[in-house]
Amino acid sequence: MRRARPTLGILGGMGPLATADFYHRLVARTPADADQEHLPVLIWADPAVPDRTAALLGEGPSPVPALAEGARWLRRAGASCVAVPCNTAHAYVEQVAKATGIEVLDMIKAALDAAADAAPAVERVGVLATRGTCRAGLYERAAAPRGVEVIQVPEDVQREYVDAAIRAVKAGADLDGPARWIATAAAALKERGADVVIAACTEIPLVSGLAARLVPLVDSTDALVDAALARLWRPDAATPA
């Protein structure tokens, strides 16, 4: 008899490389000893979802209809809950959850939990994020009840290094330059007093190796993976082959 198993839905495509990276990390971080012990996964990856940052800046259409379409498909297909490997999209996940009735894992909370574990007595957390995530105050709102201050990079650093690095990763450019730019931005956050820095855009972990040498760095993609595993993975839930 096949047993029903918890199934993770991935609402992705924002961008495609970040979605592939999330699934790769999910497999790599699952403490499985055999294929059958890994989570069943459904992936909806629609790169046509309107740009989240543009919407938050009032420069483009809302992504909610496209996100809700994907979430409904995942629910109908059997997803127990949904992971959205895009920090900026979390400005809309409450609307998506309400519209579709499916549980959406909280990437922002997961990253802040990981930041609290990364350094002792964390008081100030720096974020490397899209303009949309910064404008929406996603990390600020989630950190306030914890008594944690969120620090952003100066505007010129955001424009010249963070935004440029995110664009380069999405465009499939050589990653050496973006890795240096993100390291520069992380150094700016350290100078501003950040105890730990969150790579708060799923493109940034792909180029954060140099930055992690400068300051304790939390990978928001890994944090979401760990939240998904904590919610769904059970070592005794494998379906017999």
- What amino acid positions are annotated as catalytic residues? 86, 201
> Can the peptide bond before residue 172 be classed as cis, meaning omega within 30 degrees of 0?
no
Q: Which long-range contacts (CB under 8 A, 24 or more apart) does 156-160 make?
A: 157/184, 157/185, 157/188, 158/131, 158/134, 158/185
- Compute the distance between CA of residue 228 and CA of residue 182 in angstroms, rounded to an integer: 27
Closest by alpha carbon to 90, among 42, 138, 123, 50?
138
Nearest Cα residue to 176 out of 139, 206, 218, 217: 206
Torsional sign, CA 200, 203, 207, 209: positive
Cβ contact 105:82 at 8 Å: yes
Rounded to whole angstroms, how far apart are CA atoms 50 and 81?
23
